[in-house]
Structure 1
Amino acid sequence: MKTWLHSWRAAIRIARRDAWRSKGRSALVLAMIALPILGVSALDLTYRSSELSPAERVERSIGAADARFKDATVGGVPIFQDPAGEGSTPVKDYKDEPWPSGSIDVTKAIPAGSTVLTDRTGSAKLTTTHGLLMTEVRELKASDPIARGIMTLLEGRHPEKDDEVMATSHFLESSGLSVGSTLSARNFDRPYRIVGSYELPDSLDADQVNALPGAFLAPYGKAVEKAGVPAPQDSVSYLVRRPGGFTWNTVKEINTKGVTVVSRAVLLDPPAKSEVPLFQKEGFGGYESSQAASAADLASLATVVGLAMLEICLLAGPAFAVGARRSRRQLGLVGANGGARSHIRAIVLSGGLVIGLAAAVTGIVLALILTLVLQPVLEDTMGQRFGAFDIRPLELLGIALLAVLTGLLAAIVPAFTASRQTVLASLTGRRGVRRSSRVLPVIGLVALLIGGAVALFGSMVSEQVALVAAGSALAELGVVAMTPTLVGLFGRTGRWLPLSPRLALRDAVRNRGRTAPAVAAVLAAVAGTVAVTTYMAGREAQNRAGYEATLPYGVAAAFVQEEGGRDVPAVREAVQRDFSVDVRADVERVSVGKPGCPPWGGDPGCGRYEVVVPPANECPLNVTAPGGGNPAAQYTPEQRRKMLTDDWRCKESASGGMWVSDGGLLVGDAKLLQVLGVDDPATVKALADGKIVAFNRALVDRNGAVGIKQITDIAAADKASELGRPAPGKVSSVPAYLVPGDKKSYGVQALMTRATAKAAGLSTVPMGVYASTDRLPDGEQRQKLDSDLAKLGSNVELHLEEGFVNEYGIILLSLAIFAGLVTIGAAGIATGLAQADAEADLKTLAAVGAPPRVRRTLSGFQCGVVAAMGVILGSAAGLLPAIGLRLTEQREELRYYEQSVAEGWTADLTPPDVPIVIPWETLAGLLVAVPLGAALLAALVTRSRGALARRAAT
């Protein structure tokens, strides 16, 4: 034991000395290992620091209060809630009855003797230096001790008067205002002075303004209603403090009054799942995550870590091999003085141990420093403040051990290779005759065949995607194992090459221990890139084939649904000003109730409308069956298929496109028909004659009219809908003209003029604009329009039809660049090591009269040869998993399609198309540009002349 310890102690000292003498090579390997350790350590520190403890979460949620009370809006019926107070449901099941709704007075559920602080939240369009900004307004006395921890004061002070507010730092930055500025709201001219700046620790990017209770929302709501616009809805909760707090039993007792409670005591000490009635109801789960999901996450993490370690080992292995070869005389002296092969292995392995320890210390220390320095940047990126800076020593120790293990694994093969050298060969520097292992290629071939068979089975027979991934990984490892043999096969092409590339290829083949790992590293990087790009190219082709335009090409549409279309004229002018508009069509919508009502109704004095579908025109598959449930389930699959194929009422509407309004009804003129590409003169004449133009046959009744129902009693309509009955309301019948043919209308089901709507007793309000452009707007025009619309403070729905846009394009380009950088890096490493290893050969070339440029040319071809071999093998290896995954998706979609056809849920007789597309552009870039770029880069950074030295005595 003592002898073993002393031998390893000496080996570590020798390895440390060699690492210090070869600073360049050591720094290269250290950087390769330390960079991933730096990233993983920084990620661990960031994740753990941002992961709040229960006490920190409670403080940011309810401050110093013992609980937050809030109305569950179920009319006060008893409820079940989860311990966090995030989910609730009535105790009683309302399957065949209307769901309870309505508000209650929450203060009646607060126990006597409690201290209560009101927390009310609403929204308003506030004036800024740029225009208007929709902002959350919170009425909470932030200076109260109960609210401590919810907001963090950054500058100034808390509001003390009703005309004072404070604002989040993000709002001040977005609005251009500052502490001391004055702001007001639209339709509300009362000025408020900003006296302070604060932040919400859990939401740093929130635009929020804080006022005293009752100082803003109530008077603002009255002013808005006076202007004829419905007041925005607000929500209120109550921060409660009382001696003894609120236990889980107390929370359940308060739940019987229809109130949810977020309790400090419950959050800090949650009850068992069996004690939560909500989790016992069908359809509600517990806190535990799925074990299968956790196992899958761990498997994914282990796979990523394993592949990263493999890549590092493949890249670092040649460095240790060259280091061992440069130290072969020293290792020979160890053997000559009685050292065993185990001692030589220990010396080389100690090199990996020393580099691994240095990389671990360097990576973890840099991670600590960078995380501390970049903490504000990380917090701003995540949008929340850290809790305590959390350092987990055991986790960092595990990461450090991973670095040490990586270093040892990278040195294993060079260690065994060095130990097999004879003492004489090591002392004389002769390499002798070395044969490649005959066992490793066989193992690699077997792994390739088994992996390919598993991936094929997973894609053609099984439905497990994991089989495809596992088989592909095994096949790739098999190719890696076969790399030395494949490198030898590449060497046979050297007879047709000129001198410099022939020398480079011969050198790569003769030194497979150095070349094969570098080629394998390139292979692994390129295989992953090719697999992802091939898969994404297939998805892109599938998405392109299934793409459906929402508007005619080059047409823009902008809608404003709020405040009765008050900002619509400004939106129309902005579109006309910023885009190259050819034809502009202004549109309006039908409004029921007082002016300013939203289209969905719901506000006091507001209603909504429906485009009536005559009962004779309704598809039987959509008619509610007796007793409720799925209407189509009452028919057999054969009946459903027949209806979908033969009954025009059930065929999919040809209009498609985007949602424009309820029932697809718009109010406009013939310009809209022109923008939508409808050039039928009869349709234009019918619209001018006061008829409603219908694109959907189901809307027109037997009298040739379209019915529009005005619903004023929203509550009665909702109740009727729950019972499966028609909503009560006044129906206006408008003569209609059905557009002939199967013309695509892009979501517009019916169109009428304002005069037609007025004659039918329908009120209209501005809604938006359609605009065709003579050329697509460029980036500058879009940014200008976005800026102009942002100044209005309204929620503008903007659509611009650009045709199909490949969302994977930037990803494919990024992956290709990444693979190219890794490939050039790996090839450069191999070339640098080859130069160090082949210095004697280069000096021999210079001695026999080779021109200086030969050295530079040879270096470039050495790098290009390694890159080319790796790219070719990686491209072939990367196609297998991508094709396997696409075949698996094809089987899944085909099975779903066949099941839908068999059950009569679809009438589409065209099977799904899941194409397999080879990204030839990416492959061409990798096969040509990367080796060429690697060769040119290596040639540029290599000196033409090397230092001459005397021949060593033998």
Structure 2
Amino acid sequence: MTTWFHSWRAAVRIARRDAWRSKGRSILVLAMIALPILGVSALDLTLRSAELTPAQRMERTLGAADARFSDARTGGVAILQDPEGEQHTPAGDYESPGTPWPDGPTDVTKTIPAGSTVLTDSSGTAKLTTTHGLLQTEVRELAATDPVARGIMRLQEGRFPEKNDEIAATTRFLESSGLSVGSTLTARGFDRTYVISGSYELPSDLTAQQVNALPGAFLAPYAKAVEKAGVPKPDVSTTYLVKKAGGFTWNTVQAINAKGVLVTSRAVALDPPADSEVPLYQKEGWANYESSGAADAAALAAVGTVVGLAMLEICLLAGPAFAVGARRSRRQLGLVGANGGARSHIRAIVLSGGLVIGVAAALVGIVLALVLTFALRPLLEDYMGQRFGGFTVRPLELLAIAALAVLTGLLSAVIPAVTASRQTVLASLTGRRGVRRSNRVLPLIGLGAFLLGAAIALYGSVVSDQFVLVAGGSAIAELGVVAMTPALVGLFGRAGRWLPLSPRLALRDAVRNRGRTAPAVAAVLAAVAGTVAVSTYAASRDAQSQAEYRASLPHGAVAALVTEEGGRDVPAVRDAVQRTLPVDVRADVFRIAVGKPGCAPYGEGEGCGRFDVVIPPANECPLWATSPDGSDPAEKYSKEQRRALAKDWRCLSPDGNGIYVEEGLLVADAPLLKVLGIDDPGAAKALADGKLVSFHRPQVDRNSTVGIKLITDPEAADRAAEQNKPVPGELKSFPAYQVSGSPDSYGVESVLSPAAAKAAGLTTVPLGAFFSTDRMPSTEQRQRLDAEIAKLGSNVELTVEQGWVDGNGLVLLALTVFAGLVTIGAAGIATGLAQADAEADLKTLAAVGAPPRVRRMLSGFQCGVVAAMGVVLGAAAGVLPAVGLRLTEEREQMRFYQEALDQGWGGAGDAPPHVPIVVPWETLAALLVAVPLGAALLAALVTRSRGALARREAH
């Protein structure tokens, strides 16, 4: 034991001295290992610090209360909930046909135990005045100074409101609004003025735009004011913070659930029940996946895969660097052997180099992670949108990360250590390289792994639906290619006979010294293979996305719609668009209002109704027709009949693209047809004649009319529909013109002229306008328009059709740059090793009269050859996983398509899925040409044209 300890201590001392002497190489390897350690350690510190304990989470949710009571909106029907109080569902079976889903308010106050301290917490929205105009903001009424609410809000400046005419605001609202503490504000349609008494933040939502008022000081009077103006009242939700001696146990929570109330309990969160005691998790489809073994296994598998690939990449990159050190120290290692040192001692010295660098990288990476995470904590909190629970350091996790760095350093030095120990003492002292035969077993193992991995990937893509098989098989195949790299390098050497002198020497040198060339080529291969796989997959998805893209409007067209407040701001919005964008044609559009003019679409709001475009019974799809017993009508047909009906014109749903408008009906004149690109002279004439223009064939009955039913009581209509009874309402019939063919109407199913609507007694309100442009609006014009609309404060649905946009272009560029940097780095390491090995050859060239530039040219070509071999092999290996994944996706989408046909879903028979495989030739060209060329030029530039004089050695 003593001998072993002393020999390793001496080996570590030698390795530490060599690392200090070769500072450049040591810093390079240390940076390679330390940077991933820095990233992983910083990520661990950030996630652990941001991870709240149950006590911290309850403090931000409940303050000092014991529970929060919320209305589950089930009309008092019993519910089942999870322990966190985040998910719930009615306790009974409401999935059966004909069983209405429970809905309606519950009186939560009746479920609060007597003697409890109760604090109301109400929230609604309002348009508040700012220095820029109006801003839709959440208004929260909570007595923030009450001890029960302590911890929910954190005061930053000033004080919380103490009077009814005071409010506090979040810091993000003050930044967005341009206001400050002491400013005054009010709301649109509200004559009260409030003073901002202070600023605060929500620790778990730093981006919240919210103001705080005393209970009853804002929402109730604001609702009365806007209701008088004919504007729908804001929706207000109220929860109750309850404090009671003894708290609320899980049994108490379940008893309260029986009355239709959702409870978030501090006691339950701090001591949650077992999953077997939670009835919600026993219900089908509500399993607690987060705490299951499957979730842990999936997470561990993902983390293990990422860590394993990262370690492989680092080892492949750092291994040649340790080989450089071994080459430069071969005389020293030879002296160790000459003085009685065994091969194990030589291996220990080289391995100690990896140990020293690994320990140093671990210390540097973790220390930098601690310092940077602590210093950047405010920025990290702002980026994540929440305050940390504290600066949490878990020593065991950091120790595991440090061990990973040490293990990576040791693994990187294994192959150089074995190679160095196999050299004879004479070869080490004289600098002779000797004759080294390549390993014939490793390429065979690599070939077997490649074939096995390819077979697994092929099985996963053609037979199985498991993506993990494709990914796993591709990884095994790539490792097989890495194992075959020495043999593949030898095959590349046969191309040297057709090359000029310098590249021929570089290629021959790379082939003769595969021990240093193969790891560098493998590192380049791994980096390029990942880049090619991701870029091929992304390019293929882009091609599919482009083929499936359905425009919302004609190219360059604009739609600006306002559905709130009875279209009050529509004229200003129309003028803003026409003033800022290059408008060619403007088409004003209106919507039908049933009830008060201020009602929102689809009957949203008290006293508001809606309208339905009636589908004649003869035009109804048989697969969608309602059954008296509530059963699925498609079950009456065979699979072949459902497939046929899926292609029937009655069952083909209109495209889901386009602008979403109520019932697909717009009230407008002929300019709308021009903006939509409808080239049908008969359609414009029909509008002028008072007819309804239809783009959806099932709407038009056999008498060429379309019916519009006005429904004043939406709830009664819904109940009638559930009971398969006629929907009550007044029916208006219009003569219709069916546009021939199947033109793309961009979501608009029918158009009615304002004159025809008025003649029929329909009430219309402004909705907005559609615009065509003579050129695509620029980014600057869009920004000016957004600023104009922001001043109005209305919720404007603005659409500018720019066509399909490549969402992965920047990703592909970043991947190409990353692969280029890794390739150049790996090739540079291999070049440094080549120069260490080829120093004698360079001196021989100089002795026979070769000019100094030969040294630069040889160095550049050595680097370029390594980069070129790695890029070629990586490009070939990277296509396999991308093709496998795309084939798997094609099978899965085809299966969904066939199932849709079997079920008879409308529109399923339009076209089978298009899943192309596209190779990004631009990215491959950049990798195959630019990267090796750049690596060669960079190596040539940093290499000295004249080498140092050789020291005469005594023999």
TM interval, shorter chain, is over 0.9
Letter in 2 for 1:229: V
Cα RMSD, aligned residues only: 1.8
CA distance in structure 1 between the partners assigned to 2:338 and 2:809 by the alignment: 61
Query: Does 1:926 pair with 2:927?
Result: yes
CA contact (8 A) 1:656 1:745 kept: no
CA distance in structure 1 between the partners assigned to 2:127 and 2:716 by the alignment: 32
Counterpart position of 2:155:
153
Q: 1:417 to 1:82 in 2, by over 3 A?
A: same
Q: 1:292 aligns with which of 294, 301, 309?
A: 294
CA contact (8 A) 1:555 1:800 kept: yes
Cα drift, residue 902 of structure 1: 4.8
Letter in 1 for 2:64: A
User: SS at 1:622's partner residue?
Assistant: coil
Cα drift, residue 656 of structure 1: 5.4
Counterpart position of 1:433:
435
CA contact (8 A) 2:289 2:295 kept: no
Q: 2:511 aligns with which of 500, 509, 512?
A: 509
Cα drift, residue 501 of structure 1: 1.7
CA contact (8 A) 1:552 1:677 kept: yes
Letter in 2 for 1:548: R
- What is the correspondence of 1:460-609 to structure 2 with a 5 Å cutoff? 460-609=462-611
Deviation digits for residues 327-350 of structure 1 (CA, Å, limit 9, x no counterpart) = 111111111121111111111111
CA distance in structure 2 between the partners assigned to 1:267 and 1:408 by the alignment: 45
Cα drift, residue 462 of structure 1: 2.8
Counterpart position of 1:367:
369
Counterpart position of 1:419:
421
Counterpart position of 1:946:
947
Counterpart position of 1:112:
114
CA distance in structure 1 between the partners assigned to 2:166 and 2:851 by the alignment: 83
More displaced 10-residue stretch of structure 1: 122-131 or 51-60? 122-131
Which contiguous aligned blocks of 4+ residues in structure 1 show a shift greater than 6 angstroms?
Answer: none
The unaligned stretches of length 5 or more in structure 2 are none
Letter in 2 for 1:915: P
Cα drift, residue 149 of structure 1: 0.7
Cα drift, residue 825 of structure 1: 1.7
Counterpart position of 2:199:
197
More displaced 10-residue stretch of structure 1: 855-864 or 221-230? 855-864
- What is the correspondence of 1:682-693 to structure 2 with a 5 Å cutoff? 682-693=682-693
Task: State, as a whole percentage, how many aligned pairs show the same letter.
Answer: 73
Cα drift, residue 496 of structure 1: 2.0
Q: 1:408 to 1:663 in 2, by over 3 A?
A: same
Cα drift, residue 652 of structure 1: 4.0
Cα drift, residue 910 of structure 1: 4.8
User: SS at 1:600's partner residue?
Assistant: helix
Q: 1:313 to 1:656 in 2, by over 3 A?
A: closer
CA contact (8 A) 1:602 1:714 kept: no
CA distance in structure 2 between the partners assigned to 1:164 and 1:557 by the alignment: 40
User: SS at 1:122's partner residue?
Assistant: strand
CA contact (8 A) 1:625 1:634 kept: no
More displaced 10-residue stretch of structure 1: 390-399 or 439-448? 439-448
Counterpart position of 1:648:
649
Cα drift, residue 845 of structure 1: 3.4
Q: TM-score, normalised by structure 1?
A: 0.97
Counterpart position of 1:280:
282
Counterpart position of 1:10:
10
CA contact (8 A) 2:69 2:108 kept: yes
Cα drift, residue 619 of structure 1: 1.2
More displaced 10-residue stretch of structure 1: 723-732 or 207-216? 723-732
Deviation digits for residues 628-648 of structure 1 (CA, Å, limit 9, x no counterpart) = 133322222232233334x43
Letter in 1 for 2:770: Y
More displaced 10-residue stretch of structure 1: 169-178 or 895-904? 895-904
Q: 1:558 to 1:147 in 2, by over 3 A?
A: same
CA distance in structure 1 between the partners assigned to 2:631 and 2:819 by the alignment: 53
Q: 1:879 to 1:679 in 2, by over 3 A?
A: closer
More displaced 10-residue stretch of structure 1: 364-373 or 799-808? 799-808
Counterpart position of 2:249:
247
Counterpart position of 1:670:
670
Counterpart position of 1:912:
913
CA distance in structure 2 between the partners assigned to 1:329 and 1:907 by the alignment: 75
Cα drift, residue 563 of structure 1: 1.4
More displaced 10-residue stretch of structure 1: 1-10 or 676-685? 676-685
Cα drift, residue 940 of structure 1: 2.4
More displaced 10-residue stretch of structure 1: 888-897 or 340-349? 888-897
Letter in 2 for 1:627: D
More displaced 10-residue stretch of structure 1: 40-49 or 705-714? 705-714
More displaced 10-residue stretch of structure 1: 698-707 or 25-34? 698-707
User: SS at 1:41's partner residue?
Assistant: helix
CA distance in structure 2 between the partners assigned to 1:680 and 1:562 by the alignment: 33
User: SS at 1:620's partner residue?
Assistant: coil
Q: 1:220 aligns with which of 212, 219, 222?
A: 222
Q: 1:184 to 1:92 in 2, by over 3 A?
A: same
Letter in 1 for 2:214: L
Cα drift, residue 10 of structure 1: 1.2
CA distance in structure 2 between the partners assigned to 1:860 and 1:472 by the alignment: 33
User: SS at 1:489's partner residue?
Assistant: helix
Letter in 1 for 2:578: Q
CA distance in structure 2 between the partners assigned to 1:942 and 1:575 by the alignment: 61
Counterpart position of 1:892:
892
Q: 1:939 to 1:570 in 2, by over 3 A?
A: farther
Cα drift, residue 65 of structure 1: 0.5
Cα drift, residue 798 of structure 1: 1.9
CA distance in structure 1 between the partners assigned to 2:260 and 2:903 by the alignment: 43
Q: TM-score, normalised by structure 2?
A: 0.97
CA distance in structure 2 between the partners assigned to 1:943 and 1:509 by the alignment: 24
Counterpart position of 1:874:
874
Query: Does 1:93 pair with 2:96?
Result: no
Deviation digits for residues 877-919 of structure 1 (CA, Å, limit 9, x no counterpart) = 1111111222222223333334444554466375433222221
User: SS at 1:805's partner residue?
Assistant: coil
Cα drift, residue 290 of structure 1: 4.4
User: SS at 1:160's partner residue?
Assistant: coil
Cα drift, residue 354 of structure 1: 0.8
Counterpart position of 1:694:
694
Counterpart position of 1:48:
48
More displaced 10-residue stretch of structure 1: 193-202 or 739-748? 739-748
CA distance in structure 2 between the partners assigned to 1:511 and 1:665 by the alignment: 75
Letter in 2 for 1:945: R
CA contact (8 A) 1:120 1:140 kept: yes
CA distance in structure 2 between the partners assigned to 1:817 and 1:529 by the alignment: 10
User: SS at 2:767's partner residue?
Assistant: strand
CA distance in structure 1 between the partners assigned to 2:85 and 2:898 by the alignment: 44
The number of residue pairs the alignment matches comes to 952
More displaced 10-residue stretch of structure 1: 75-84 or 257-266? 75-84
Deviation digits for residues 14-47 of structure 1 (CA, Å, limit 9, x no counterpart) = 1111111111111111110000001011111111
Letter in 1 for 2:740: P
Cα drift, residue 609 of structure 1: 1.1
CA contact (8 A) 1:38 1:364 kept: yes
Deviation digits for residues 416-471 of structure 1 (CA, Å, limit 9, x no counterpart) = 11111111111222211222112212221222222222222222233332222222
Deviation digits for residues 671-699 of structure 1 (CA, Å, limit 9, x no counterpart) = 00111112322221111121111122221
Q: 1:900 to 1:661 in 2, by over 3 A?
A: closer
User: SS at 1:85's partner residue?
Assistant: coil
CA distance in structure 1 between the partners assigned to 2:722 and 2:67 by the alignment: 35
More displaced 10-residue stretch of structure 1: 530-539 or 197-206? 530-539
CA contact (8 A) 2:623 2:904 kept: no
User: SS at 1:484's partner residue?
Assistant: helix
Counterpart position of 1:401:
403
CA distance in structure 1 between the partners assigned to 2:749 and 2:903 by the alignment: 30
CA distance in structure 1 between the partners assigned to 2:76 and 2:157 by the alignment: 42
CA contact (8 A) 1:618 1:698 kept: yes
CA distance in structure 2 between the partners assigned to 1:656 and 1:37 by the alignment: 48
CA distance in structure 2 between the partners assigned to 1:149 and 1:865 by the alignment: 63
Cα drift, residue 801 of structure 1: 2.0
Counterpart position of 1:768:
768
User: SS at 1:735's partner residue?
Assistant: strand
Counterpart position of 1:748:
748
Letter in 1 for 2:371: I
Deviation digits for residues 768-787 of structure 1 (CA, Å, limit 9, x no counterpart) = 21111111112222222222
Deviation digits for residues 37-73 of structure 1 (CA, Å, limit 9, x no counterpart) = 0101111111111110000000000101111112222
Counterpart position of 1:103:
105
Cα drift, residue 847 of structure 1: 4.1
